[in-house]
Structure 1
């Protein structure tokens, strides 16, 4: 059986009748099934989307507006026709692979908009969900179609009944149609529901048809059907967290916390920070934990305005202001003493959380509005710390995880794109619910963290796609730079000290260089085409050496015409133009053999029409750029060592302006230059730099490394640093 051709008629495909001896008839029957099931599913989808948009307009929820409804109705016929034609083209490609449409995949590497990324994400989710749902039937059909068409296997885009092909076809059918991006996403969602039934029936009928025709009748499925996965499965993670926190904390975490408490005691001693510090002369009174929790509950319902970042007294730490508010709250509850103290453990909890939020709210990594959002969580977190100090000991603590998730959603998020504003709105509602619903039950932290994390998962997949594109684009740039550098070095080495005539200079620096770069990128260094091109260059230089020695023209080694034509064709120099170029080189050799100096030869080659070099698509230039050579960079050896330890997935803090710090992730490390590609939270490239350049930027205060793996841990390390610094100054 030959690969890529339909099964021959003498193959044992049909034990039951003459009708199915021609595989083309089977494919015709399968095409009919596909059109009968999938085209009505699309029509039903567009009808449901029409109803959906109409109802939203009628109820006043006109996010897309009546214009979207009109656009959809105007385009319905065109969308349906494109979809039907695409299905027919898919089966035509099965009959004759040479007729396959190359653009169905839409996998071209190009810079696309946020809306297009959202649409691509919906497209992939549609294909993935339906593939899992119909895995057994799809597996059987794919293998039988591959057998029928004489192929080893069929990719998703080669099988017109595969969800990958159908999802891509829908996206192609929507191209060029004036529809809002939001409406396109709605179409994908409704189409997924309609296809669930349509594909089930299509696979059942198609497999039954092929089995009856004798196509692999004994085949059994190995894949299992799966229900579509929810955005996040929360129960498993929660059980794991609860089980972890039921065990003693690790010795390392205990040591860190003990050191923090020791520094805290020293800081209190140096600051004289007794609760209230009013110089009371009455008998000392310790505020009980229950009284403290009652005071904090009052503060939670009516958050003091002085805790807002823009209204805080910069002369006092947040811990001092918090203790002052607790004192005022105690008086409201009827506590008359003017010499109040907190219980030792409660005092630790209050001060540690206040210092933690001091770090979070003082840093430039958050905008003022985001600092206000985070600041509203201060009192709930103090209450958690008072009743459960495990928050400082366990990474899995729900309150700790929520703070990390909120910080991740807010870091580097300036609300510049619609998706960023939506995410900040979700953070707002999360914090609103925490402040209004938290009543000493930490379960609310679990619920809110899981909901926010699930919501962010949708954004994260889109950002991962953008990050992947940025890495691919940078990889293409580096390969091109490497190919150019290697080619320039090779030509310089082979040319040596020769002073060539202008026509040969132009050939080597233009045509030959361009050809070698292209061949190196496409075929690789040392490939047959690459070696042939290098040999052609050497043959030209050998002929030049003979001509320079005044060897008779008839005895000069002949130029390899075939090799020269291949080099010239890479730059679009073909036919008569290529002949003229080769003749110009030959003429220069003859004139030199006759005694003419190379410098006196003024012949030039035809103007070069250079074809585009095969590199990844252009990405926006990074916000920051390092252009200095590493030999002049000023950095600390210890800083360089830390930068060299950065791995893919590591996060650093990057100063993008005097008053703004952005988180940046190491997305890719070049195997060629060792440079690191850094992207922001949205997957957009912000910097490409070597470890030495990053170390130099760190010495200038433009780059800093996180001390902890998460925002909570990093803030705790900074708290310890501040306490140590205060102790040293004291």
Structure 2
């Protein structure tokens, strides 16, 4: 234990003053770098500690014993208690590093084990220190390898700022080595076991080291603005290999040990039980690929016998491979541009490996027999299988598959340059491909009539093909510009989508109001013989008044109750009166009925002349009723058919229908009120065509009910036409599903049953929401496992010679 740990609340004021005095001498530019970097890095450290609780809690839940579970819970409490102290100590260590750097006193951080305590017998402490040292060394080496280009530029610019002194990765105050050492010093305050500390280191790698890219980018941008080496460019020396991560097994330089493939480069302290899922998948892939080379009779793709590691044969460096790929890329660009069909793209994908090996042979020195290393060949096969999957991906339209197939060579170059392509979801090349695929998933000819999306995706593909040599920043820049395009399109599409949902919601509210109004009116008139004028008033203007009242006021309003009371009283007033009391009540009621009716007619904008005509008819009717004269009565259907007779024949004359016969057709017209629709169709207004009834436990019915808003579905019509649409809105009234295209325009709406029937028949197919890269890796793992399980051991390596992929699934 250090003294600081024994007294965690005591701060060395002399040390703090030393830090302050040294940092006061920083130049303006160095202060700018310090301010930018430490603000961002401290934020990343904060994010780290916000995720420690969840990580330890998950591990505690999966713990195999109570003792291990207790250790994780104790670790959670310790981190909560000392988090602020550790964050402050880390900030002080990082600030101190800047001060020492300004004074030229910052010593390079060497990847060795920290000094041990003077107690020689404490071998357990030695083991803990060794574990921590390996963890820090491994994460630093991995970060330096990934960030070598931007870190090199920061080093060169910092060297200019301090007057020309040497700055490298080991003494850069914001380099992974210095930051890793500062974090190691800070978390010595945690009184936890080594397993918990290694988990914290893993989270530091995931949230801090992995987040340094934008830190270095911003520092470089600000220094360029200040005029510090605006043209500096990192050039990898000829024949140089990227630095191997710490913990790499030693053997043939630049090559993994037999049976390990490139998996040997995984962090030494990585624990699959607690690690990142992407790393687990990547490890599985490399292991499956490496298992093909376990036989002694393995034959390389070049046709030369040799061991799995290629011992005894000079290996081609990544630079040689990249040179061959660049030549191949330039030669094939014109041919790929003409490969618009999926079959053309598939043929190109399968030829790339063979053409690459031929090109490598041309570049090789005639005096030496050289071959592609097993690890590089696995990478070639893996990228080949990735693009084979893309060309078969159900999520992508054929036109998009053909476009993306052209990217195989650039992505093969990325995979050779940076092994993190398959292991890190944050890799810019991976994110770009996922972004292009996500946009391409929504593409269809119908929704992209102006070809804006297709041309924009094509531009991204051509930019990568034209500009990418060895600068992975091309993918980052193209991702930024493509994301801007997608964001601007999404904003316009969201507005259109909202309007489509609002319009559908409005129509459904209207239809629901019409159904309710029709039910209320028919409850009062459907089984009664009433005078035609009463039927006409209630089934037409008053039904429309009920609809309007329901939409504006709702069913709980006084106006709605008054409107229904009028209907009841109006029906009663139209029935024969046999007693004096009934006559007296009717005479008293008539003024109230007239007042309410005029109000309702005015609300629905009934024409004044029609109001006068109606009032005259009602006056004549009530006069005859009070005088005891016989009044003609009819059913609601008879009156409605007669009222529509002058209108419907003209519209139906083309079909040979006329008169009352044409008016009785069930198809509603724009002149019909909700009551007329129900009466003429003998059902509810605006009903859907009947669909097949599915059992409640039907798998497709369950699948439809589990669909989430935002899910994309491809609809296939009877003629084979395809349209892709997103589930935009689920109606709370009818439970209908509204689908829109990528522009936010309505494509269709479906009931749950209708959509389930289409899914069962295959005319509606749900598209996966998992990113393209993740889907591809899962499929490749399944394919390799199937090939390894289904093939005999001696025959397995033979599949390594197939172009574009190594283990062809049966």
Shift of 1:462: 1.8
Equivalent residue pairs, number: 481
| Structure 2 SS opposite 1:599 | coil
Distance in 1 separating the partners of 2:419 and 2:689: 49
Shift of 1:313: 6.3
Taking the TM superposition and a 5 Å limit, the aligned residue runs for 1:292-691 are 292-303=321-332, 305=335, 309=339, 320-334=350-364, 343-363=373-393, 370-413=400-443, 420-495=450-525, 497-545=527-575, 547=577, 553=583, 555-556=585-586, 558-559=589-590, 560-585=593-618, 587-588=620-621, 594-596=629-631, 598-599=633-634, 628-629=689-690, 632=693, 637-655=698-716, 661-691=722-752
Shift of 1:397: 1.7
Distance in 1 separating the partners of 2:615 and 2:551: 25
Judging changes above 3 Å, is the alpha-carbon distance between structure 1 residues 598 and 702 closer, same or farther for their aligned structure 2 residues? same
Q: Structure 2: state its 5+ residue gaps.
A: 1-209, 219-265, 648-668, 674-686, 791-808
The reply to whether residue 706 of structure 1 matches residue 741 of structure 2 is no
Shift of 1:292: 3.5
Q: Give the aligned partner of residue 755 of structure 2.
A: 694
CA displacement, residues 19-51 of structure 1 (integer Å, 9 cap, x when unaligned): xxxxxxxxxxxxxxxxxxxxxxxxxxxxxxxxx
Judging changes above 3 Å, is the alpha-carbon distance between structure 1 residues 452 and 538 closer, same or farther for their aligned structure 2 residues? same
Judging changes above 3 Å, is the alpha-carbon distance between structure 1 residues 453 and 543 closer, same or farther for their aligned structure 2 residues? same
Shift of 1:580: 3.1
Give TM-score scaled by structure 2 length. 0.50
Shift of 1:361: 3.0
8 Å CA contact 2:531, 2:631 repeated in 1: no
8 Å CA contact 1:303, 1:376 repeated in 2: no
| Structure 2 SS opposite 1:683 | coil
CA displacement, residues 454-502 of structure 1 (integer Å, 9 cap, x when unaligned): 2333322222222222122111111111111222222233445223333
8 Å CA contact 1:276, 1:340 repeated in 2: no
Judging changes above 3 Å, is the alpha-carbon distance between structure 1 residues 636 and 311 closer, same or farther for their aligned structure 2 residues? same
Distance in 2 separating the partners of 1:628 and 1:496: 25
Judging changes above 3 Å, is the alpha-carbon distance between structure 1 residues 256 and 674 closer, same or farther for their aligned structure 2 residues? farther
Judging changes above 3 Å, is the alpha-carbon distance between structure 1 residues 368 and 672 closer, same or farther for their aligned structure 2 residues? closer
Judging changes above 3 Å, is the alpha-carbon distance between structure 1 residues 717 and 556 closer, same or farther for their aligned structure 2 residues? farther
Judging changes above 3 Å, is the alpha-carbon distance between structure 1 residues 348 and 334 closer, same or farther for their aligned structure 2 residues? closer
Distance in 2 separating the partners of 1:628 and 1:346: 60
Shift of 1:581: 1.6
| Structure 2 SS opposite 1:402 | helix
Distance in 1 separating the partners of 2:489 and 2:345: 40
CA displacement, residues 91-117 of structure 1 (integer Å, 9 cap, x when unaligned): xxxxxxxxxxxxxxxxxxxxxxxxxxx
Shift of 1:377: 1.3
Q: Give the aligned partner of residue 239 of structure 1.
A: 214
Judging changes above 3 Å, is the alpha-carbon distance between structure 1 residues 589 and 413 closer, same or farther for their aligned structure 2 residues? same
Distance in 2 separating the partners of 1:237 and 1:590: 92
Distance in 2 separating the partners of 1:551 and 1:274: 111
| Structure 2 SS opposite 1:667 | strand
| Structure 1 SS opposite 2:519 | helix
Shift of 1:450: 0.5
Q: Give the aligned partner of residue 253 of structure 1.
A: 278
Judging changes above 3 Å, is the alpha-carbon distance between structure 1 residues 600 and 644 closer, same or farther for their aligned structure 2 residues? closer
8 Å CA contact 2:341, 2:402 repeated in 1: no
8 Å CA contact 2:497, 2:745 repeated in 1: yes
| Structure 2 SS opposite 1:400 | helix
Judging changes above 3 Å, is the alpha-carbon distance between structure 1 residues 598 and 435 closer, same or farther for their aligned structure 2 residues? same
Q: Structure 1: state its 5+ residue gaps.
A: 1-234, 614-625
Distance in 1 separating the partners of 2:493 and 2:727: 14
Distance in 2 separating the partners of 1:308 and 1:477: 48
Distance in 2 separating the partners of 1:434 and 1:657: 39
8 Å CA contact 1:676, 1:690 repeated in 2: yes
Bigger Rg, which one: 2
Shift of 1:402: 0.9
Distance in 2 separating the partners of 1:702 and 1:301: 42
8 Å CA contact 2:501, 2:729 repeated in 1: yes
